[in-house]
Amino acid sequence: MDDETVLWEGRSSQWLNFAHFTVALVAAVLSVIAGSQFHPFAFAALILPAGYALWRYLVIQTHVYRLSCQRLRVTSGVVNQHIDEIELYRVKDSIILRPWWMRLTGLSSISLETSDRSLPKLLIPALPKGVETREILRRQVEIQRDKKRVREMDFDDVEGEM
């Protein structure tokens, strides 16, 4: 039986949390101002923005993508863990997405379209070295298709044509 070698493992960048961290920072600053101006117990409100920022950090940190020679496994969940797997020969298409803010930070997202009914579309957001990761994925998809002698075919339903 084949060993399932891990070719790549990664997480999305914490840049996805930029807006969340900014909101938490503003709330923390407002709590400090309120505590110094009005009531000393207002400093206790710092717990909320700190907890929110920590939660957002953990959401990204626990979302792990693992590409092996046979499948792509997506593990997520801070408290309860959820695991999705896609057999590589089921990947139909992969696209690199790089909006302006990702180009500035050196990140890119990979959008996958699969023939897997449980996970027909998958977005792997904000990856460092996303272009290189997509190439590793693309090559491995072709290797698995050749190994299993599988080809992906799309049939479009067109009304009135025979």
Q: 29-70: per-residue pLDDT in tens?
A: 888 887 777 776 767 778 889 999 999 999 999 999 999 999
Distance in angstroms (rounded) separating the CA atoms of residues 66 and 7 = 8
Q: Which two tokens stand for residue 22?
A: 């900014």
Q: Which domains does the chain have, with CATH numbers?
A: 6-148 (2.30.29.30)
Q: What is the pLDDT of residues 116-147, one digit of tens each?
A: 898 999 999 999 999 999 999 999 999 999 98
State how far the Cα of 119 lies from the Cα of 78, in Å rounded to an integer.
21
The DSSP bridge pattern shows strands 121-128 and 91-97 to be unpaired
